């Protein structure tokens, strides 16, 4: 294998392959693209460039050659040196083809220039993908047909239309007049009957022999106690009931006001409908009975 073949192999696996004392081949991954003019789709690939300033030996190329040729690292370096010398001689008169990578040449300033092979794709992930040409989509243009011109009917003479309208009005008035007379007669008869019935209803009297006794209802407004002095909150209902009995024995108007949002049954010393009275009672209870008592507004 030649030096170009080894470089070609390494570019499939590495992003940079340096040829000592000559230059480096650098790859750059580019995504899929489309040519709008030719309607061609290109798969992702590695774009290869050449940098003549990358001449430091990183050992990658020499180690690969030594492994394939089953020789020492020094002999591999000697192989590279001989191949590079041959390239430089060829470049004085022509171009050097680097396998499927591209072509090397010299410009007018005697600098090495590189022309990549656009048909090669060193991106392993795109293996098997090729260029795809898309046919141009022809759009259907619908033709609009013009509608035929329809001639308007000739207008009747104005005089004839006036006579016809007058005749229609006279016929309608005659029909309406007779129907109106009949309807008016029926309405008068119906109104007369209704007035007679109304007079009979108005003249009727109702007498209740035994009136019902008068009942006086006394409604007592129940006070709503929204201010509660809490004596404790218990998980077990039995404990809450025991606390209630103990408070009642001490003379408090205690009661169970249900469970809170944590599911604990709440027992009160007493409940008030006035916030000021509740605060005064709370202060006395905290000083004499329980410092843990607190006020619940509900």
pLDDT mean over 27-52: 84
- Which residues, in sequence order, are CB contacts of 58 under 8 Å at separation 6+? 18
Query: What's the pLDDT tens digit per position in 9-37?
Result: 999 999 999 999 999 999 998 888 787 67
- Rounded Cα distance between 27 and 135, Å, is 32
pLDDT of residue 152: 58
pLDDT of residue 31: 85
pLDDT mean over 211-238: 77
- Rounded Cα distance between 44 and 127, Å, is 10
Backbone torsion region of residue 277, taken as left when φ is above 0, otherwise alpha when ψ lies between -120 and 50, otherwise beta: alpha
Beta-bridged to residue 290, according to DSSP, are: none
pLDDT of residue 55: 86
CA distances from 235 to 28, 205, 253 (A): 70, 71, 22
pLDDT mean over 139-163: 62
Q: Please, are residues 290 and 250 in contact by the beta-carbon 8 Å criterion?
A: no
Query: pLDDT higher for 164 or 84?
Result: 84
Query: What's the pLDDT tens digit per position in 69-106?
Result: 999 999 999 999 999 999 999 999 999 999 899 999 99
Q: Please, are residues 25 and 7 in contact by the beta-carbon 8 Å criterion?
A: yes
- Rounded Cα distance between 15 and 26, Å, is 6
- Rounded Cα distance between 170 and 212, Å, is 69
3-state secondary structure the chain: CCHHHHHHHHCCCCCEEEECCCEEEEEEEECCEEECCCCEEECCEEEEEEECCCCCCCCHHHHHHHHHHCCCHHHHHHHHHHHHHHHHHHHCCCCEEECCCEEEEECCCCCEEEEECCCCCCCHHHCCCCCEECCCCCCCCCCCCCCCCCCCCCCCCHHHHHHHHHHHHHHHHHHHHHHHHHHHHHHHHHHHHHHHHHHHHHHCCCCCCCCCCCCCCCCCCCCCCCEEEEEEEECCHHHHHHHHHHHHHCCCCCEEEEECCCCCEEEEEEEECCHHHHHHHHHHHHHHCCCCCEEEEC
CA 260 to chain centroid: 39
- Rounded Cα distance between 75 and 82, Å, is 11
Q: Please, are residues 105 and 92 in contact by the beta-carbon 8 Å criterion?
A: no
- Rounded Cα distance between 283 and 181, Å, is 92
Tell whether the model's pLDDT for residue 206 goes beyond 70: no
Query: pLDDT higher for 251 or 169?
Result: 251
- Rounded Cα distance between 62 and 83, Å, is 12
Q: Please, are residues 20 and 30 in contact by the beta-carbon 8 Å criterion?
A: no
Q: Please, are residues 295 and 279 in contact by the beta-carbon 8 Å criterion?
A: yes
């Amino acid at each position: 294998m030649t030096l170009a073949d080894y470089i070609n192999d390494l570019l499939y696996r590495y992003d940079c392959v340096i040829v000592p004392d000559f230059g480096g081949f650098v790859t750059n991954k580019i995504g899929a693209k489309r040519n709008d003019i030719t309607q061609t789709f290109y798969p992702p690939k590695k774009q290869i460039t050449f940098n003549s300033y990358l001449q430091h030996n990183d050992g990658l190329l020499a180690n690969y050659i030594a492994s394939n040729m089953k020789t020492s690292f020094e002999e591999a370096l000697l192989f590279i040196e001989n191949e590079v010398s041959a390239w430089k001689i060829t470049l004085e008169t022509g171009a050097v083809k680097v396998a499927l990578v591209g072509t090397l040449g010299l410009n007018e300033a005697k600098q090495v220039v590189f022309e990549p092979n656009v048909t090669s794709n060193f991106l392993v992930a795109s293996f098997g993908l090729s260029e795809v040409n898309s046919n141009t989509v022809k759009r259907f243009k619908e033709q609009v047909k013009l509608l035929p011109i329809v001639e308007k009917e000739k207008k009747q003479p104005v005089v004839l239309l006036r006579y016809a309208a007058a005749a229609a009005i006279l016929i309608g008035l005659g029909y309406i007049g007779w129907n109106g007379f009949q309807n008016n007669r029926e309405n008068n008869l119906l109104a007369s009957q209704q007035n007679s019935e109304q007079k009979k209803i108005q003249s009727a009297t109702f007498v209740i022999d035994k009136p019902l006794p008068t009942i006086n209802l006394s409604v007592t407004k129940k006070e709503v106690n929204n201010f509660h002095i809490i004596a404790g909150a218990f998980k077990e209902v039995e404990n809450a009931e025991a606390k209630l009995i103990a408070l009642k024995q001490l003379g408090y108007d205690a009661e169970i006001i249900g469970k809170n949002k944590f599911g604990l049954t709440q027992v009160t010393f007493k409940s008030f409908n006035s916030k000021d009275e509740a605060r005064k009672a709370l202060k006395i209870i905290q000083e004499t009975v329980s410092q843990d008592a607190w006020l619940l507004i509900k």
